[in-house]
Amino acid sequence: MIKIIEKSYIKVYNRYIRVIFLVWRIEMGFLSKLLGKEDKKIEELVINSYMKGKVVAITEVPDPVFSQKMMGDGFAIIPEEGKLLSPVSGEIIQVFPTKHAFGIKTGDVELLIHVGLETVAMKGEGFDVLVSAGDKVEVGQALLTYDLELVKEKAKDIITPCVVTNMDIVEDISVLKLNETVDFSQEVAKIKLK
């Protein structure tokens, strides 16, 4: 009974995340046009490793929301330590209340990094967020430290996906270090924009 409730809660939560990001993207696009503000256009974006660990294909994430690319395309890292760095320079657009997920915007590209699977149920326990929504960040800047052992104990998985949530502007994502172990701030992927 408890597992059924937890899974139902997670499904509702995943839908909630998608709706929040969709509404945010619509509002930000409208405000940018209204205010005449345009971001610098980039043609290719390098994504650096946000964790130390093994890089895997997004299709290997044991959660259909990510593996079936419902949130967007990207890759994931199986972390070796409880530290999350920014993979790009940009702006923190969202820090989830449960401290386990971050939205980052760089140019027109919006990234979602989700630490672990079903970590929402931890309600922020073991997570120490180092940034807030609206903060400007640089590549390699620390965003979060967390208790990896606690996540191993309480969450479904420690795997940490990074996805582009606005794939409509992306032509291709090339993962350069697939199935390799990477250190912090190494080039992991390149995103070619339309």
Q: What is the pLDDT of residue 9?
A: 56
List active site positions: 114
Three-class SS string for 143-169?
EEEECHHHHHHHCCECCEEEEECCHHH
* Domains of the chain in sequence order: 39-193 (2.70.70.10)
% of the chain with per-residue pLDDT over 70: 78
pLDDT at 44 over 60: yes
Q: Are 47 and 87 in contact (CB under 8 A)?
A: yes
Instruction: Report pLDDT digits (tens) over 69-84.
Output: 999 999 999 999 999 9
Instruction: Report pLDDT digits (tens) over 135-180.
Output: 999 999 999 999 999 999 999 999 999 999 999 999 999 999 999 9
More confident residue, 1 or 96: 96
pTM of the model: 0.80
Strand order through the sheet with 181-182: 136-137, 90-95, 101-106, 109-114, 160-164, 73-79, 53-57, 181-182
Q: What is the pLDDT of residue 104?
A: 98
Q: How far apart are the first and last CA of the chain?
A: 47
